């Protein structure tokens, strides 16, 4: 019997995706296209659980390429992250097949997360604008107190160059402070000037995110009053509460997966005392186990996508050929 190797298992995973992925994607895209056209023609504003389930399925299939599209998986942390991501993805797809109303729960969580992320982004960019404005003042002061002061004092060329060197050091220190603040627009600010970049953020970037937030909030305002009629009390409690992966894994019949993966991966993913003083890499057999799990989980994900059914489901195959969409029954 041939021994399994990481490269061999990775090839198995890729072959599985290549064998089943394209047809599964074409089927999901076809179902989604028909459903979206039907909702568009009907003018319905009622949240569609099947719409969000199909979009989640399509996103699952798209994710396979990003997870396994490179020549190799780089190390322990990437492999553990992939395994946990696939597990959580599988929980969702199993819940969709158990009760299609989880599509509404998914949509609610999506909007909540989009709102939270957008609010955080606005706060982050606002803080960056304030930082750049303060640094613009300091940048101007640095120039005034070095080069401009030397010129004003009638200094000779050597003294002006020395003042410029001091100015450059102060500017470099400012740039490093921006870098240490992990500013999203730090590189642009050092190129455009701090004051101009702050202007761009306040006049263009922040308003765009505020418009996005307004749109998200409008969708939430439409959805939230309807939840009580769309979900039963048990699902409503899940929808309005904090998502608990162990509970949901139990609902999906995957508690054994949860107990194995979370105890196994947490000791390596988190900087606990055990992690800091013991082995921080997967052994060869553990790495093989994680790749084996990926292979099994992807097969299960494809199975869950294939078995999903709903009233009015249309079996249309939508294939992307050279950038153009084509459909065939």
Q: Is there a domain that residue 222 lies in?
A: no
- The per-residue pLDDT for 274 is 67
- The per-residue pLDDT for 220 is 97
Q: What are phi and psi of 325, to 5 degrees?
A: -85, 135
Alpha helices in 224-315 (DSSP H): 227-230, 233-240, 245-251, 255-269, 273-277, 284-307
Q: Is there a domain that residue 287 lies in?
A: yes
**pTM recorded for the entire structure:** 0.85
The answer to whether the CB of 230 falls within 8 A of the CB of 165 is no
* Domain termination site, one of 214, 233, 262: 214
Residue 72 shares a structural domain with residue 32: yes
pLDDT band at 266 (very low <50, low <70, confident <90, very high): confident
Residue 134 shares a structural domain with residue 210: yes
pLDDT band at 147 (very low <50, low <70, confident <90, very high): low
Candidate from 119-133, 138-152, 315-329 with smallest mean pLDDT: 315-329
Residue with tokens 């900087």: 271
pLDDT band at 52 (very low <50, low <70, confident <90, very high): very high
How far is residue 193's CA from residue 83's CA, in Å, rounded to a whole number?
Answer: 44
Average pLDDT for 283-292: 85
Residue 163 shares a structural domain with residue 195: yes
* Domain termination site, one of 197, 214, 231: 214
Average pLDDT for 283-296: 88
Residue 96 shares a structural domain with residue 245: yes
Q: Is there a domain that residue 203 lies in?
A: yes
- The per-residue pLDDT for 314 is 65
Residue 138 shares a structural domain with residue 194: yes
Q: Who wins on pLDDT, 150 or 158?
A: 158
- The per-residue pLDDT for 328 is 43
Q: What are phi and psi of 181, to 5 degrees?
A: -85, -5
DSSP helix/strand/coil, 254:
coil
Cα dihedral 83, 85, 91, 97, rounded to 10, equals: -110
Residue 79 shares a structural domain with residue 157: no
- The per-residue pLDDT for 273 is 77
Contacts of 223 (CB under 8 A, 6+ apart): 47, 107, 108, 111
Average pLDDT for 137-143: 75
Q: Is there a domain that residue 224 lies in?
A: no
Q: Is there a domain that residue 64 lies in?
A: yes
Q: Is there a domain that residue 186 lies in?
A: yes
Contacts of 72 (CB under 8 A, 6+ apart): 7, 10
Would you list the DSSP string of 149-218? HHHHTT--HHHHHHHHHHHHHHHHHHHHHHHHTT-TTHHHHHHH-HHHHHHHIIIIIHHHHHHHHHHHHH
Residue 95 shares a structural domain with residue 128: no
Residue 85 shares a structural domain with residue 175: no
Q: Does residue 202 have a pLDDT over 90?
A: yes
- The per-residue pLDDT for 270 is 75
The answer to whether the CB of 146 falls within 8 A of the CB of 129 is no
* Number of domain units in the chain: 2
Average pLDDT for 186-191: 82
Q: Is there a domain that residue 206 lies in?
A: yes
pLDDT band at 221 (very low <50, low <70, confident <90, very high): very high
Domain region containing 141: 117-214
Q: Is there a domain that residue 90 lies in?
A: yes
Residue 123 shares a structural domain with residue 46: no
Candidate from 37-51, 81-95, 228-242, 263-277 with smallest mean pLDDT: 263-277
pLDDT band at 8 (very low <50, low <70, confident <90, very high): confident
């Amino acid at each position: 019997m041939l021994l399994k190797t990481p490269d061999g298992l990775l090839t198995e995973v890729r072959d599985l995706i290549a064998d089943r992925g394209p047809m599964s994607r074409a089927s999901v895209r076809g179902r989604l296209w028909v459903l979206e056209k039907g909702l568009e023609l009907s003018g319905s504003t009622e949240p569609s659980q099947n719409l969000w389930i199909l979009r989640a399925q399509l996103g699952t299939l798209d994710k396979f390429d990003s997870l396994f599209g490179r020549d190799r998986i780089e190390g322990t942390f990437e492999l553990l992250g992939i395994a946990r991501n696939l597990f959580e993805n599988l929980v969702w797809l199993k819940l969709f097949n158990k009760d299609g109303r989880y599509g509404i729960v998914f949509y609610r969580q999506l909007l909540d997360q989009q709102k939270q992320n957008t609010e955080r982004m606005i706060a982050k960019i606002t803080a960056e604008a304030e930082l750049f404005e303060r640094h613009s003042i300091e940048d101007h002061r640095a120039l005034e107190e070095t080069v401009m002061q030397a010129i004003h004092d009638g200094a000779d060329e050597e003294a002006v160059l020395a003042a410029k060197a001091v100015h450059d050091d102060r500017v470099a220190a400012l740039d490093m402070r921006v870098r240490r603040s992990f500013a999203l627009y730090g590189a642009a600010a050092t190129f455009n000037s701090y004051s101009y970049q702050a202007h761009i953020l306040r006049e263009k970037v922040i308003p765009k995110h505020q418009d996005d937030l307004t749109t998200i909030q409008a969708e939430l305002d439409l959805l939230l009053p309807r939840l009580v009629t769309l979900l039963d009390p048990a699902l409503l409690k899940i929808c309005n509460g904090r998502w608990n992966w162990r509970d949901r894994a139990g609902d999906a019949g995957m508690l054994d997966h949860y107990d194995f993966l979370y105890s196994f991966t947490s000791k390596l993913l988190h900087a606990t005392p055990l992690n800091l003083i013991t082995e921080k890499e997967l052994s060869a057999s553990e790495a093989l186990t994680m790749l084996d799990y990926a292979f099994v989980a992807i097969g299960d994900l494809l199975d869950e996508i294939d078995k999903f059914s709903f009233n009015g489901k249309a079996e249309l195959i939508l294939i992307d050929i050279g950038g153009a969409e084509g459909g065939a029954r």
